[in-house]
Structures are given as structure tokens and as C-alpha cells.
């Protein structure tokens, strides 16, 4: 295969992926636009759902980042045995299935949870986790680790030489924060806020389980209710259009507020801090955050581990469907990400940037919006419920593509810059080049992208709720039904099974990626 033929193949594969993305995102959006009615069709409850969606997302994003700043600073400043394990475990909630996280929070803050048991024992009134404060609590639990990891990378990007210079100039801890750490926060915090705001806008399972009342309904939950209970397709389409507008606005704003990095480079030395003091406050913050994030997970495991062997057969069948969806979505995502990344580099310039932007467009959508559009597209042709698992797999693959593309594209660009000329000189193109040169050097980002896609797809409770009937339920959907039926023992066992499968998929793929990371 010649270089010209390889380039044509890359552009052809990228073109197929681009066509699919146009259909998935804008075709579905077009179907929504076609079916949507005028704004007069919206009820007062629908506008209340829009307000609640924005309010809970603002509170959730603000609290997540506000709490992440001192936590990330404490982790960046302190070195202690097991620090890496603590950071890894504290990041676990972000890849957890949302329903598992909700069950864990109910075990701690619910009606019969640890907190209310403690309050009742001292004669105080129990608290309720349902409503705005419960939704915000769940979102903070889910997104605090993400915000912490983003800001922790920012602290790691400050060159060690800056801290040495500040110490030699006699900077106080306050001046060190103001001159070195505050500029980094000013660059990262706006983007982190908007990313988490976008995630909270599209959160469905949290509102479904902890909200749901007239005053605690999000737009996504309103779409589901109009779709499944009222079968009002026009109103559901209009709500989906509003949701897309909210997400697109947040995504564009997140891109516009990104500030250029101005921290400069260093000599990659280990950071040595000279403003530490005794560290009591830092360690207290780390301990409290670990208690908040890990206690719900421990409660889920403790309550459900013994129930797993006795789970009903339909739960195991649902687990098999979820595994098929997760593995299928992972394969499709990796193929699309590799094809699109090769096409972006082959085009280069403005056209390559436009193709990359198309690959990131799914950030402005949600599974409920895309699912509504695909249902409308399939309805005149076939029974959409017959394609529930296939549609769920494809939508999950499309929603995971932006993350996979952002992980794979920089690595592929580095491979082209460092190995491209030698491969060209040896006449290595096409499959041989992909197998011998490219894939071994992309193994780490490929493994992490695969693990992230599989874990998120395993716990998804979006499209499947629109399409599937009882006999086609995935594990998250089956878990939700057990919760509704108050079968708490089976629900706890199903949650442990879902948690174990999600973490096993993530660990397996990520472990594979790190197996030859030194290549």
C-alpha cells in the first residue's frame, strides 16, 4: 500500500465516521425539530423543570469545584504512604454507575441510613435526601473526584523551580498561593466549573431516583415522563430541543472561557514545598473527603455482597445484556476514535479542526435527546423497541467518542511526529504501520479510553429507559425496577454486581493499556 492509498483509506474511514456522527447528532436533532411543537405546548411544570435543571447544575458545579480546591491543594502539598491508592480510590465514584452511587448515598443519608440513625439516637429529627439538596449531594459525590483530579493536574503542572525561587525570595504561604497557585486556578477553575455544569445538566438517573417531585424535576426527567407515561411525542421533542440548547450553550461557553496556559516550563524535577507547616488541616481535609466518598461504597458492598449468589435469574440475564452493550460500545468507540483521529491528521489545518469539532459535538447532547430523535427516526420504519440494545450501544459509543478522541488524538499526533518519517522511509503504510508502529504506542490511551467507555456504558440508564420493555432490560434498568418494588436485598445484590462488573471492565482495559506502556 502506497502513502497516497493509505491517506485515502484514512480519509474514507474518517468520512464514514463523520457521516454517522452527523446522523447520530444532527439527524436525531433534525427529527426532534421536525416533531417539536411551539413553545405554547409547554406546561408550567415544564418551565419549572428548566429552572430546576439550571439551579441544581449551578449549585452542584459550584460546590464540587469549591470543595475540590482545598482538597486538591492538600493532596498536592502532602506526601504520605498510600497517597496514590487514596487518589485512585477517591476517583472511583466518577466511573461508578449512577444508581450504585445513589444507593450508597441512601445507605448513609437515606431514611434508614447511618446519619438518620445517629440523629434519631440523640433525639433529633431525621433528614430527607429527596429534593434539590439530595440531587446536589449526589452530584457533588459524583463530580468532586473529577474536579479534584483536574485541579490536581494543575498543581502538578507548576514547575518545581517556581516554588524554589519563591522560597529563596522569602515568600509567605499567602504570597506563594497568590503568585503561583492562584494563576493556575484562574485558568482551570472556569473550565472545570462548566464541564461539571454540563455533566449535571445531562444527569438523568440522579433526578429519577432522588428528585421526581413537581419541584424537583429536570428537563431530562420531563422528557422521559412525556415520552413513556404521556406518549406526547411533540412535547417530548420540544423538551429535548430545549435540553440540547442548554447543553450546547454550556459546551460553547466552556470552550470560550478556556484560558491559555501561562505557567511556563521546568526541568521536570520533583516538587518540594517550603510552606507546609504541620499539615493538620490538610490531612483532616483528605480524611473527611475520603470518608464522604468511600463510606457509601463500603455500605453498598457490605449490604449486598452476600446477596449476589442468590439473585434472580432475570438479574443475571440483564447483566449479560449490559455486558454486550458495554463491550459493543467500547469496540465501536475505539474504531471510530482511531478512524477519526487518522482523518484529522490526514486533513490537517482548518478542515482537520472542523472534523475534530464534529467528533466532540456529542458533548452538547445527552442520551435522552439523541434517544428521542432516534426513536422518532425509527418509528415510521420499524418498532424502535426491537432495536433497544443496538440503539443503546450506538448512542453510548457516540457519547463516549469525545473522551476517547481527546485521549487518542494527542498520542497519535506524537507517533506521527516521532515515527512517521522513519515509517515512510521504510515504506510502511496501512495495516502494517497501524499494527507495528501505531497501536503499540497508543496502548495506554486506548486502554484508558476503552475502560472509561465500558464502565460508563455498563451503568448507563438513559436510552434503554426510552426503548426497552421488561424482557429487554439491562442491569441498571433491572436495578431501578428492584428499587421501585422495594426489594432492597435484591437491589443491594444487583448494585454490587453492577459495581463489580463496571470496575472489572475498567480495570481490565486500563491494565491492558498499561501492560506495555513503556513501548
Residues 148 and 62 reside in one and the same domain = yes
The single-letter DSSP state of residue 124 is: P
Residues 29 and 67 reside in one and the same domain = no
Rounded CA separation 346/348 (Å): 6
Residues 87 and 217 reside in one and the same domain = yes
Q: Which of 501, 366, 483 has its CA nearest to residue 105?
A: 483
pLDDT at 169: 64
The single-letter DSSP state of residue 215 is: T
- Residue 109 in any domain: the answer is yes
pLDDT at 517: 45
pLDDT tens digit string along 199-234?
888 888 888 888 756 677 888 888 888 877 777 777
The total number of residues shown for the chain amounts to 519
Residues 366 and 440 reside in one and the same domain = yes
Mean pLDDT of the chain: 81
89 or 49: which carries more pLDDT confidence?
A: 49
Residues 9 and 133 reside in one and the same domain = no
Domain housing 378: 1-35+311-519
Residues 338 and 410 reside in one and the same domain = yes
Rounded CA separation 71/91 (Å): 13
Contact indicator for 218, 205 with CB cutoff of 8 Å: no
286 Cβ partners below 8 Å, 6+ apart? 71, 74, 75, 78, 86
Contact indicator for 447, 519 with CB cutoff of 8 Å: no
pLDDT at 266: 42
Residues 285 and 332 reside in one and the same domain = no
Does the structure show a pLDDT above 80 at 509? yes
Q: Quickly state the pLDDT bin for 261 (edges 50, 70, 90).
A: very low
Rounded CA separation 62/140 (Å): 9
pLDDT at 96: 80
Residues 142 and 21 reside in one and the same domain = no
Residues 288 and 322 reside in one and the same domain = no
CA quadruple 411, 413, 417, 422: dihedral sign? positive
- How many percent of the chain have pLDDT more than 90? 16
Rounded CA separation 498/96 (Å): 9
Degrees, nearest 5: CA angle 9-10-15: 95
pLDDT tens digit string along 236-260?
778 888 888 888 888 777 666 654 4
Rounded CA separation 108/91 (Å): 19
Q: How many domains does the chain have?
A: 2
pLDDT at 185: 82
Q: What CATH number corresponds to the domain at position 456?
A: 1.10.3720.10
Name the residue with cell 484508558.
Answer: 448
The SS3 call for residue 148 is helix
Q: Quickly state the pLDDT bin for 518 (edges 50, 70, 90).
A: very low
- Residue 255 in any domain: the answer is yes
- Residue 475 in any domain: the answer is yes
Rounded CA separation 218/106 (Å): 20
Residues 125 and 218 reside in one and the same domain = yes
Residues 361 and 504 reside in one and the same domain = yes
Mean per-residue pLDDT, 391-404: 88
Q: Quickly state the pLDDT bin for 264 (edges 50, 70, 90).
A: very low
pLDDT at 37: 67
Inter-helix orientation angle 233-256/367-378, to 10°:
140
- Residue 143 in any domain: the answer is yes
Mean per-residue pLDDT, 293-314: 90
- Residue 436 in any domain: the answer is yes
163 Cβ partners below 8 Å, 6+ apart? 176, 180, 271, 272, 273, 274
- Residue 214 in any domain: the answer is yes
Residues 198 and 102 reside in one and the same domain = yes
pLDDT at 367: 78
Does the structure show a pLDDT above 80 at 419? no
pLDDT at 329: 94
- How many percent of the chain have pLDDT more than 70? 84
Rounded CA separation 498/504 (Å): 10
Does the structure show a pLDDT above 80 at 322? yes
- Residue 266 in any domain: the answer is no
Contact indicator for 159, 166 with CB cutoff of 8 Å: no
* pTM of model > 0.85: no
Amino acid at each position: 500500500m502506497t502513502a497516497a492509498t493509505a491517506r485515502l483509506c484514512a480519509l474514507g474511514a474518517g468520512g464514514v465516521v463523520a457521516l454517522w456522527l452527523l446522523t447520530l447528532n444532527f439527524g436525531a436533532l433534525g427529527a426532534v425539530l421536525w416533531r417539536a411543537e411551539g413553545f405554547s405546548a409547554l406546561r408550567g411544570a415544564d418551565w419549572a423543570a428548566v429552572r430546576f435543571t439550571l439551579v441544581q447544575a449551578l449549585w452542584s458545579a459550584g460546590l464540587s469545584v469549591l470543595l475540590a480546591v482545598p482538597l486538591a491543594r492538600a493532596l498536592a502539598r502532602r506526601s504520605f504512604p498510600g497517597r496514590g491508592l487514596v487518589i485512585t480510590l477517591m476517583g472511583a465514584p466518577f466511573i461508578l454507575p449512577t444508581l450504585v452511587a445513589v444507593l450508597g448515598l441512601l445507605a448513609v443519608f437515606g431514611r434508614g441510613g447511618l446519619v438518620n440513625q445517629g440523629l434519631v439516637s440523640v433525639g433529633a429529627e431525621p433528614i430527607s435526601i429527596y429534593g434539590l439538596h439530595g440531587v446536589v449531594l449526589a452530584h457533588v459525590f459524583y463530580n468532586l473526584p473529577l474536579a479534584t483530579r483536574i485541579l490536581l493536574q494543575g498543581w502538578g503542572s507548576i514547575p518545581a523551580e517556581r516554588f524554589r525561587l519563591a522560597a529563596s525570595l522569602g515568600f509567605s504561604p499567602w504570597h506563594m498561593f497568590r503568585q503561583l497557585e492562584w494563576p493556575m486556578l484562574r485558568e482551570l477553575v472556569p473550565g472545570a466549573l462548566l464541564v461539571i455544569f454540563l455533566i449535571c445538566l445531562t444527569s438523568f438517573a440522579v433526578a429519577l431516583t432522588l428528585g421526581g417531585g413537581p419541584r424537583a424535576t429536570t428537563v431530562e426527567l420531563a422528557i422521559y415522563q412525556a415520552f413513556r407515561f404521556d406518549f406526547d411525542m411533540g412535547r417530548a421533542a420540544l423538551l429535548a430541543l430545549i435540553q440540547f440548547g442548554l447543553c450546547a450553550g454550556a459546551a460553547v461557553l466552556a470552550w470560550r472561557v478556556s484560558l491559555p496556559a501561562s505557567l511556563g516550563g521546568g526541568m521536570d524535577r520533583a516538587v518540594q514545598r517550603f510552606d507546609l507547616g504541620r499539615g493538620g488541616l490538610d490531612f483532616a481535609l483528605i480524611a473527611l473527603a475520603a470518608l464522604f466518598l468511600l463510606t457509601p461504597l463500603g455500605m453498598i458492598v457490605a449490604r449486598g455482597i452476600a446477596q449476589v449468589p442468590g439473585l434472580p435469574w432475570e438479574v443475571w440475564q440483564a447483566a449479560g445484556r449490559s455486558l454486550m452493550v458495554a463491550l459493543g460500545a467500547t469496540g465501536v468507540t475505539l474504531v471510530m476514535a482511531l478512524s477519526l483521529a487518522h482523518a484529522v491528521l490526514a486533513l490537517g489545518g482548518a478542515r482537520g479542526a472542523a472534523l475534530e469539532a464534529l467528533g466532540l459535538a456529542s458533548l452538547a447532547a445527552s442520551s435522552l435527546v439523541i434517544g428521542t430523535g432516534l426513536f422518532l427516526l425509527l418509528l415510521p420504519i420499524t418498532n424502535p423497541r426491537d432495536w433497544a440494545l443496538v440503539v443503546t450501544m450506538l448512542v453510548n459509543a457516540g457519547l463516549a467518542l469525545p473522551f476517547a478522541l481527546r485521549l487518542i488524538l494527542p498520542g497519535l499526533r506524537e507517533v506521527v511526529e516521532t515515527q512517521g518519517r522513519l515509517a515512510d522511509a521504510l515504506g510502511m503504510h496501512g495495516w502494517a504501520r497501524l499494527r507495528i508502529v501505531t497501536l503499540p504506542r497508543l496502548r495506554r490511551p486506548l486502554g484508558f479510553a476503552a475502560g472509561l467507555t465500558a464502565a460508563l456504558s455498563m451503568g448507563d440508564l438513559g436510552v434503554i429507559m426510552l426503548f426497552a420493555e421488561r424482557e429487554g432490560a439491562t442491569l441498571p434498568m433491572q436495578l431501578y425496577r428492584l428499587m421501585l418494588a422495594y426489594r432492597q436485598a435484591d437491589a443491594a445484590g444487583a448494585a454490587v454486581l453492577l459495581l463489580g462488573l463496571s470496575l472489572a471492565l475498567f480495570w481490565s482495559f486500563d491494565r491492558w493499556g498499561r501492560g506495555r506502556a513503556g513501548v
